């Protein structure tokens, strides 16, 4: 009879420790994130291929994956008017996206980008897996 209690208590302790371990792993996992930029092109301005190439390389080097939305159509669903264009990038975490947009590389690219487009708003959204 005593052996049964020992086995039952050991089993219960193992389940509890496993539950705590899984909780710890979930807490360590970073959520994916997306940066969304609402863009308004400057009338008559033409984006240089060199700028596009440099921006794409900088994004990729920082771990960003462009969603290819800049030339996609934006449809109004509700609320105020939609932006003219939207730039979306997938990131492994919000921290990676924030670090990129605060980096020297991005700040160095900004003057060239501002010649052809005005960023109305840019934000980062974390998503659950």
Q: Which residue intervals of 63-127 are DSSP H helices?
A: 94-101, 104-114
Residue 25's pLDDT is what? 47
Topology adopted by domain 31-127:
Alpha-Beta Plaits (3.30.70)
Domain boundaries, the chain: 1-30, 31-127
Residue 12's pLDDT is what? 53
Q: CB neighbours of 59 closer than 8 A, spacing ≥ 6?
A: 65, 66, 89, 100
10 Å CB burial of residue 99 (0-12, 13-18, 19+) is middle
> Tens digit of pLDDT for each residue in 5-54?
565 555 555 655 565 555 544 545 789 999 999 999 999 898 889 998 99
- The confidence band for 119, taking pLDDT boundaries of 50, 70 and 90, is very high
Sheet of strand 117-127: strand arrangement: 65-66, 85-91, 32-41, 117-127
Statement: the pTM of the whole predicted model exceeds 0.85: no
Region class of 20: left (phi > 0), else alpha (psi between -120 and 50), else beta: alpha
Residue 60's pLDDT is what? 96
Residue written as token pair 């105020």:
80
- The confidence band for 128, taking pLDDT boundaries of 50, 70 and 90, is confident
Higher model confidence: residue 101 or residue 26?
A: 101
Residue 89's pLDDT is what? 96
Residue 27's pLDDT is what? 47
């Amino acid at each position: 009879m005593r052996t049964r209690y020992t086995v039952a208590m050991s089993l219960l302790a193992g389940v509890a420790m496993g539950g705590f371990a899984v909780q710890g792993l979930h807490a360590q996992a970073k959520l994916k994130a997306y940066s969304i930029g609402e863009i308004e092109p400057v009338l008559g301005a033409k984006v240089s291929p060199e700028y596009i190439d440099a921006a794409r390389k900088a994004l990729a080097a920082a771990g960003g994956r462009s969603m290819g939305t800049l030339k996609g159509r934006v449809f109004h669903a509700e609320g105020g008017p939609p932006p003219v264009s939207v730039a979306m990038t997938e990131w492994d975490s919000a921290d990676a996206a924030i670090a990129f947009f605060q980096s020297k590389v991005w700040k160095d690219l900004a003057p060239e980008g501002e010649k052809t487009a005005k960023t109305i708003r840019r934000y980062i959204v974390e998503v659950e897996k």
